Structure 1
Amino acid sequence: MSRKLRVAIVGAGQVAETVHASYYLSREDLELVAVVDSHAERASEFAAKLGIPHAFSDAGEMYRQCQPDIVSVCTPNRFHHQHVMQALEHGCHVMCEKPPAMTPEQAAEMRDAARKAGKVLAYDFHHRFASDTQLLREQVVAGTLGEIYVTNAKALRRCGVPGWGVFTNKALQGGGPLIDIGIHMLDAAMYVLGFPAVRRVTAHSFQKLGTRKHSGQFGEWDPKTFTVEDALFATLEFQNGGILRLETSFALNIAQQSVMNVEFCGDKAGATLFPAHIYTDEDGQLVTLSQCEVADDNRHFKSMQAFVDHVLGAPVSIADAEQGYLIQQLVAAIYLAAELGTSIDL
């Protein structure tokens, strides 16, 4: 029997515990051997809580002592590039939280390093792994929707500024809701559409509520240190003539507490993503062609499973380094278009 693959986690935060460590500990063919965090006490507490044998505050020391095969990078966005590159240099396969990095240039370097090392680099764009997303992608390929010419992606919160971590710190995160939650619906939409080439990007960014309020559904934050956008709206024009409209916010005066969904409009049929529902019109009446009663919420598990199975050689799809680079390109173009107040040609 083959030996268990050794796994380490860099960054001892919430997602590291609830998603990455939780999944790795569920598999008998993996051994979670180490956790790294710049705060030694946090790393030690994380390791003790989950029964991980080694805790470090220095990643270099962890690689020397533990020699992992797989590394999860769960640090703030600013450090993704550094930690992914370090893991690849030590011959590890890498699962990195989104976004890939702070810039497209960094994402490209990470992609190229993974190719050179012959290692798997995946990103946790977990919404594309929902059965809903897979169903819609299959139906788009089959031509059920026809030509999709309008896509509306929404990742909106009425007052959902994260009260923990560094989500309101632009220097560490690179941005606000776009790079945190909007990127998820952008990726899901692009995946379903088959990553069509983008011709032009237009965007408008706002900071109206995050610097005035201080509490919401996810706790409190300091409005004095709120340096990210609290809402952003963008339009992507595709080379094929279609458009994708993206709306995302941490704070926006809408009726719903939150909206995370994508709507596709084709010339044969339309669809919404969560839960998957494909429909058309016949003489003014809505006709359902296919429907899931409840959205698949096992997305994180399926994302992690796909990554590990891919590392083990299974022919499964992952959110790979090339697609991560393409999404990072779009995020950068959206932010630039918003900053300049003009359209950006790609």
Structure 2
Amino acid sequence: MDTKKLRVGIIGAGGIAVNAHLPNYEKCLEKIQLTAIADVAKEKAIAAAEMFHIDSAYDNYEEMLKNEELDAVSICTPNKFHAPAAIAALEAGCHVLCEKPPAITVDEAEAMTAAAEKAGRILTYGFHFRHTQQVAALKRYIDADELGDIYAAQVTAVRRRGIPGWGVFTNKELQGGGPLIDIGVHMLDSALYLMGYPKPETVLAASYQKLGNKKGVGVMGDWDWENFSIEDMARGMILFENGASLTIETAFAANVEKLDVMDVSLMGEKGGADLFPLQIYQEKHGTLVNTTPAYLPKTNEHELEITRFVDACLTGSIPLSTPEQGLYLQQIIHAIYTSAERGEAVKISEL
């Protein structure tokens, strides 16, 4: 084995590992070696190891971290296990790419951040929408001050009947919540990233369980509606310390026209934009103009995410997503759920 290669381990052998992480690590084999994989269902770990030519399979990630000399780890478990797995990997001297969301609680996200700092290792999160060409292009416009001060944003992650019929997505104990913590975080992170990740101050939110706990049409398969323990919709408004505001609407099931909408709208003093598809709105030379890219390169955001993580591990460069940003995001998620539960606005500093 080339000792200069990054020795990679995988914790969790479910869909996100098999469909996103492992196929794209395989594209980096000149730089990495897929060394080990662990899953509590060992048959899944063995199957993934055979499929992707991984040397070792375990049913316990702690045993994997103890027995294998790993340099980097991908965390692909249900949300409940993100923090303990990430902290264990960091303490074992590994760089960590943890799937979104960072964790279930703010305390867990803080502990992960502290563990990364103490270990002197990279901790980054799987917000793959950041790696899309739309986000990259709009970021260039923002960096060139084409939008000016961005003072308002709208985040949408809404499905008409898109409750996942597989996995543990409807299990609050394992996931920490529903569409907000699953798909909402992607658009929320994209918006915050483009806004410069302002510090959140106050949140007012509401959540609903109106459709998911009833039998109905499932665009993404039949779900276990009798054991549906999450929200099917969450809505909220976030005020930031710099005076900016953001509204968010996220749902697995809602009576709306389109089956699936994932988008971010930004409004600034000099211009505004919608992200998916990318359009920029400005006033120039006495004219209201819309700018639409004629061409954006076709890229695989999961591939870019993995490639950039590998390069960061090998070069020491700063990843696109940082632990501090993940902590801010976790604070907002917690505040939205807390505000919805209390039925009143909450200040993040008081939670």
TM score, norm. by length of structure 1: 0.95
Question: Equivalents in 2 of 1:314, 1:112: separation in Å?
Answer: 18
Displacement of 1:242 after TM fit?
2.2
Per-residue displacement from partner, 1:128-177 (whole Å, max 9, x unpaired)? 12122122223223221123222111011000001111000000000000
DSSP 3-state at the match of 1:138:
helix
Q: 1:10-21 counterparts in 2 under 5 A? A: 10-21=11-22
Contact 1:203–1:341 (CA under 8 A) maintained in structure 2: yes
Displacement of 1:277 after TM fit?
1.7
Residue 129 of structure 1 aligns with which residue? 131
Query: Is 1:30 equivalent to 2:32 in the alignment?
Result: yes
Question: Equivalents in 1 of 2:147, 2:32: separation in Å?
Answer: 41
Question: Equivalents in 1 of 2:339, 2:94: separation in Å?
Answer: 36
Q: What letter matches 2:20 in structure 1?
A: V
Contact 1:276–1:292 (CA under 8 A) maintained in structure 2: no
Question: Equivalents in 1 of 2:253, 2:175: separation in Å?
Answer: 17
Per-residue displacement from partner, 1:215-244 (whole Å, max 9, x unpaired)? 411111111110000011110112232211
Q: 1:264-283 counterparts in 2 under 5 A? A: 264-281=266-283
Residue 250 of structure 1 aligns with which residue? 252
Query: Is 1:175 equivalent to 2:177 in the alignment?
Result: yes
Deviates more, 1:292-301 or 1:167-176: 292-301
Displacement of 1:280 after TM fit?
2.0
Question: Equivalents in 2 of 1:287, 1:257: separation in Å?
Answer: 30
Deviates more, 1:144-153 or 1:100-109: 144-153
Contact 2:200–2:328 (CA under 8 A) maintained in structure 1: no
Residue 243 of structure 2 aligns with which residue? 241
Unaligned runs of 5+ in 2: none
DSSP 3-state at the match of 2:250:
strand
Displacement of 1:116 after TM fit?
0.6
Residue 6 of structure 1 aligns with which residue? 7
CA RMSD of aligned residues (A): 1.9
Task: Tell me how many residue pairs correspond in the alignment.
Answer: 346
Q: 1:1-346 counterparts in 2 under 5 A? A: 3-27=4-28, 28-281=30-283, 286-289=288-291, 291=293, 293=295, 298-313=300-315, 315=317, 317-346=319-348
Contact 1:275–1:295 (CA under 8 A) maintained in structure 2: no
Deviates more, 1:136-145 or 1:66-75: 136-145
Q: What letter matches 2:120 in structure 1?
A: G
Q: What letter matches 2:261 in structure 1?
A: V
Unaligned runs of 5+ in 1: none
Question: Equivalents in 2 of 1:56, 1:176: separation in Å?
Answer: 29
Per-residue displacement from partner, 1:182-241 (whole Å, max 9, x unpaired)? 011000000000011222111010100000134411111111110000011110112232
DSSP 3-state at the match of 2:151:
strand
Question: Equivalents in 2 of 1:159, 1:103: separation in Å?
Answer: 27
Displacement of 1:30 after TM fit?
0.4
Displacement of 1:49 after TM fit?
1.9
DSSP 3-state at the match of 2:315:
coil
Per-residue displacement from partner, 1:268-313 (whole Å, max 9, x unpaired)? 2111112322122469965134525568552211112221111111
DSSP 3-state at the match of 2:27:
coil
Calculate percent identity across the aligned residue pairs. Answer: 44
Displacement of 1:69 after TM fit?
0.9
Question: Equivalents in 1 of 2:11, 2:196: separation in Å?
Answer: 32
Question: Equivalents in 2 of 1:284, 1:91: separation in Å?
Answer: 58
Question: Equivalents in 2 of 1:325, 1:316: separation in Å?
Answer: 16
TM score, norm. by length of structure 2: 0.94
Displacement of 1:21 after TM fit?
0.8
DSSP 3-state at the match of 1:96:
strand
Question: Equivalents in 2 of 1:215, 1:49: separation in Å?
Answer: 34
Q: What letter matches 1:197 in structure 2?
A: K
Contact 1:162–1:221 (CA under 8 A) maintained in structure 2: yes
Question: Equivalents in 1 of 2:35, 2:243: separation in Å?
Answer: 50
DSSP 3-state at the match of 2:154:
strand
Deviates more, 1:314-323 or 1:237-246: 314-323
Structure 1 residues 297 and 244 mapped into 2: Cα distance closer, same or farther (>3 Å)?
A: farther
Displacement of 1:267 after TM fit?
2.5
